[in-house]
Structure formats: structure tokens, C-alpha cells
Structure 1
Amino acid sequence: MPELPEVETTRRGLLPHVVGRTIREVIVRNPRLRWPVPRDLAARLRDVEILAIRRKGKYLLFDCAQGHLLVHLGMSGRLTLVPADRPPQTHDHIDLRFEGNQALRLTDPRRFGAMLWLKSPAERHALLAGLGLEPLEPEFTGAALAQRARGRQVAVKQFLMNGRIVTGVGNIYASEALFHAGIHPTRAAGRISGERWDRLATSVRETLNRALRAGGTTLRDYASADGQAGGFQFEVAVYDRAGEPCRSCGTLIKTMRQGARATYYCPACQH
């Protein structure tokens, strides 16, 4: 968390308020994030205009004339538009102050996020160069997934969550997509038919789009750029519903551990 829908919701929320505006000042209160904030970030961004905001997997790229500001929200981070004179709280680590009285504030209680400056082309940076298929792009197909899964014995849920294979699909959405595709999360990726890969690719895309329409999922810290919580947690079919009846067949939802993460599934609907 945040996963692809939360990052994309943040991007869309920022577009009308940030693109075309000029950063007048950068205030770094705590540079000790997962990757240290560059010491010269404030100098690099002073009087720089933001030309566009893109998303690569779970990363945001703020495109500027001479480079790119990369932001990762980690496990608990969020970007919020606030009045520039609003007093910071304990976990408010960085402000990008624009002309007028508005700032873009990075809040990150667990400090697993990042704010870095990248030279062009950004896609060559080590954090971005190895990203896998983008689930909301046309190249994300059952055939593409089947090709990458050929001969692999890893469980399909962990396959989906591998950022070098598929980018941006985390624990919540992998569990939900597998349920709607009717595929058991422990099935070996290399033992799934082409027809079922087509179904799963469609399910991943539809699950992410439903989450986007709901504004993402809020379990603990996530909020959109305007401070609103997401609503997808009220629509989930299996995630965090262990012991409750399946909405499709009535069988009790089960949970297990996969790669130190909780997996939720219906033993009757998924096989």
C-alpha cells in the first residue's frame, strides 16, 4: 500500500492543480526516507515548472524541462495539497511550495517512500528500467502473461505481484483479480491455460478500474490529494474477509500466508 489505483488516483487528482505551476520553494524537514532525499533537491527545483505528471507502476514522475521528480509513496505515504502556511505534523517530511499560498506535502509515517531527481530519460533509471507489464496498457494481455509464465512453478499470486513481471498489482488487487478469474492463488503460473490467462488479464484490468472508480482502497493511511479516503475496501469480494461467506456461493472465505503476505480466497469458486 499504496498500490496502482491509489497512485493513479493521486496523479489524476494532482493534474489540474499542479501541472503548469512553478515551484518557488522546497522545504525538506526529514531527508531520511527509503532513499535519502538529494541534498541539492531544493536548489534543483527552485523556480522549476511542472510540465506533466506520469505514472510508471507505483512511481509518479513530475516532468520538468531539465529532468524529472520521482516520487514513491512506499507503504504509508501520501501527497496532499495544503495551504502553504499550514503547520506540519510529525510525519510531514517535504513541502513543494507553489506561487500563491499552496503546497504539495509529502507525508510518510514509515518513511519507505522516496523523492528523487532524475535526469532524462527517466525510464533508464534503475528504479524504472526493470518494471514489468503495465496492467492498464494495451500490451497487458493473457498471451503476454502466458509467455512470461512458461515453465515457472511460482504460485500465480506471487507471479502477479512480481514488479518485474507485472507492475503495480499488490496484495489486495491480486487476491481480488484471482477470485474474479476463478483461479486458486497457489496454482503454478506455468500450469495455467491460455484461456485462463486471458480471463485473468481481463480480471486484473477490471479490478484495477473498479478500484480507480472508488478512489482506491483505504485501510490505514491512504488518502487522495484532496485528503479523501478511498472506498474500494467496501467492495472487496475476498480480501480481509476470512470466515465470511463468499458473495457468489456462500462458502466461507479462507486465508493463508504466501510470501509473508495474507492471501484470501474462496475454496469453492477458485481452483
Structure 2
Amino acid sequence: MPELPEVETTRRGIAPALLHRSCTGAIVRNPRLRHPVPDDLDATIRGLELGSVERRAKYMVLRFATGSLLIHLGMSGSLRIVPATTEPDKHDHLDILFGDTALRLRDPRRFGLVLWQDGPAPHPLLAGLGIEPLNDDFDGPWLHRAGRDRKTPSKLFLMDGHQVVGIGNIYASESLFRAGIDPATPIGELGPRRCTRLVACIRETLQDALAAGGSTLRDFVSSDGAPGYFQQQYFVYGRAGEPCRKCATPIRKRIMGQRATFFCPRCQR
């Protein structure tokens, strides 16, 4: 599933082409996504100017004067900017039109969603989400306070969207390797110094992934159709049995929270 860097890469790709343009409608070819696309989407957004293109966790938020359009890419979705006259492919389920330009949603597995929220209030799906890891208020002291006395393994804490948003399996594994922390170490056992180190490594990992255009996960491509390349820089994810890039110890795999977890037993304590 696309994680924060993939969604942010997409946001940065589509925003320049669409900001402050008037929406000329929507073409819904298949409304049967994870949640049905609203029947009145075309009438709702037609004539509205797009004020901003934002990201909250792994959701894209297109804000208009009367409300916002919430988009999630699911497991295999992508958003691309194409000429409005471009013939759709089989899995191109939705176009948001801006004159001669279309924002096209392609979603082979149909696990994505496109929902409308009236007014300035955030959509209920965004309620209760945790802190953004690239925001200034995400720092060592915050992590130390939030994790204090908790026995939750550090990796599962980072992947809990009610605590920190947008950090999925790949980037949690990679961040913990860079910080030298065993994924199973309870978050409450990390002192202030290790929390500060972990926050710095999370930021570094996410920024490196953004610079590489994200990771290629199944069908993920950015808004211009280019794949992400961060997977070529993985230290541990998906490398079970391969030598650690730092110490040559074989990378190990364990299951945590029903997800595969990769780590170096020598570099991570």
C-alpha cells in the first residue's frame, strides 16, 4: 500500500497543474471502489475552484470553497495528470476535470476511495489521526512523552496511525534500522536520547524516500507515470538472509502484528 512518501510524491506532482483552476466536472466510469463514489460528484464539484491540494496521513485532500474531496489510493491506485481527451484504460475509474486537463484515478484492485465532505470540517475518516512525522511538533520530547510506560513494540507504535501517521511497514523498518533499535523493543523503554535519534532517522528516511520518488509498491507510479526508486536503498526491508549493508550479518525476518519485520540482529539492539 502506498505510504506517506508515495502519497506526498503524488501530491507534489499534481498540485502545480491544478491549483486555482476551476473544476469543470467529473466522469465516473466505475463508482464501485472501497466506498462508492458519490452519485452527485459531478454536480457537486462542477464550477468550484481548487484552493489547495493537501495530504493528511495517507489521504489526499483537495480543498474547494464549499468542501473537500478525500482521496485514498488503496493498494494499487495512482493519480495522474493527463489531457482530458486521453482515452481511458480498463482500470481508469474516475476523471476530475479542469478544462483540458484531467486528474485521473487508476485503481486495478478498487481498494481506493473518493469521498466528498461538505464544509471546512475534516472528513470523519481523518478524525483521531496522530501526529504528522514531517511536522515540527514531531520531535524527541513528543515521542518520549507519547511512548512513556507503554509496552508496545517500537515498530508497532510507529505504525499506529492514532499515534503517528503515514509510517507503514517499509519506512518503520528502515527508520528503526537507521536508529539502531530492535523493532521489538518496547517504545516505553526508549530514553530521551534514543527517542530524539529515532525521530531524526524517521525524518531522514522519509525525506530520502521523497527524493527518490517513493518506493515502487506493486502498481505504484507517481503522477507523471514514473516509478519510485527508494526500494533500491533498502537496508533491511525484504532482505531476509542477505548480508547487512553495514556489518554483513544476515538480515532476519520475524512476524510482528501480522506483518513481516526485517532487522539486523547485530546493528539493532
Q: Where on the TM-score scale, by shorter chain, does this alignment land: which range?
A: over 0.9
Q: CA RMSD in A?
A: 1.1
Query: For the Cα contact (< 8 Å) 1:32–1:111, is it kept in 2?
Result: yes
Mapping 1:30-179, distance limit 5 Å: 30-100=30-100, 102-123=101-122, 125-179=123-177
Gaps of 5+ in 2: none
Give 2:189's match in structure 1, choosing from 183, 188, 191: 191
Q: Distance in 1 between matches of 2:73 and 2:121?
A: 18
Aligned to 1:20: 20
The one-letter code sitting in structure 1 at the alignment partner of 2:107 is D
| TM-score, normalised relative to structure 1 | 0.96
Offset, 1:90: 2.2
The one-letter code sitting in structure 2 at the alignment partner of 1:110 is R
Q: Distance in 2 between matches of 1:16 and 1:126?
A: 27
- The number of residue pairs the alignment matches comes to 269
Gaps of 5+ in 1: none
Aligned to 1:230: 228
The one-letter code sitting in structure 2 at the alignment partner of 1:136 is L
Offset, 1:25: 2.4
Work out the percentage of aligned pairs sharing the same amino acid: 54
Structure 1 residues 183-211: Cα deviation after superposition (integer angstroms, max 9, x where no partner): 00011111111211111011101100000
Offset, 1:119: 2.0
Greater shift in the superposed pair: 66-75 or 78-87: 78-87
Q: Distance in 1 between matches of 2:216 and 2:182?
A: 25
Aligned to 1:210: 208
User: In the alignment, does 2:169 pair up with 1:182?
Assistant: no
Secondary structure at 1:118 match in 2: strand
Offset, 1:58: 0.8
| TM-score, normalised relative to structure 2 | 0.97
Give 2:199's match in structure 1, choosing from 201, 204, 210: 201
Structure 1 residues 86-142: Cα deviation after superposition (integer angstroms, max 9, x where no partner): 222222111112212x2111111222211111123233x321121101000001012
Q: Distance in 2 between matches of 1:220 and 1:127?
A: 25
The one-letter code sitting in structure 1 at the alignment partner of 2:80 is T
The one-letter code sitting in structure 2 at the alignment partner of 1:143 is P
The one-letter code sitting in structure 1 at the alignment partner of 2:258 is A
Query: For the Cα contact (< 8 Å) 2:66–2:120, is it kept in 1?
Result: no
Query: For the Cα contact (< 8 Å) 1:122–1:128, is it kept in 2?
Result: no
Aligned to 1:251: 249
Structure 1 residues 51-80: Cα deviation after superposition (integer angstroms, max 9, x where no partner): 111111111111111111111111111101
Offset, 1:247: 0.8
Q: Distance in 2 between matches of 1:81 and 1:151?
A: 47
Offset, 1:257: 1.2
Q: Distance in 2 between matches of 1:86 and 1:15?
A: 20
Offset, 1:85: 2.4
Query: For the Cα contact (< 8 Å) 2:10–2:223, is it kept in 1?
Result: yes
Structure 1 residues 142-201: Cα deviation after superposition (integer angstroms, max 9, x where no partner): 211121112221111010000000000011000000000000001111111121111101
The one-letter code sitting in structure 1 at the alignment partner of 2:160 is N
Offset, 1:30: 1.4
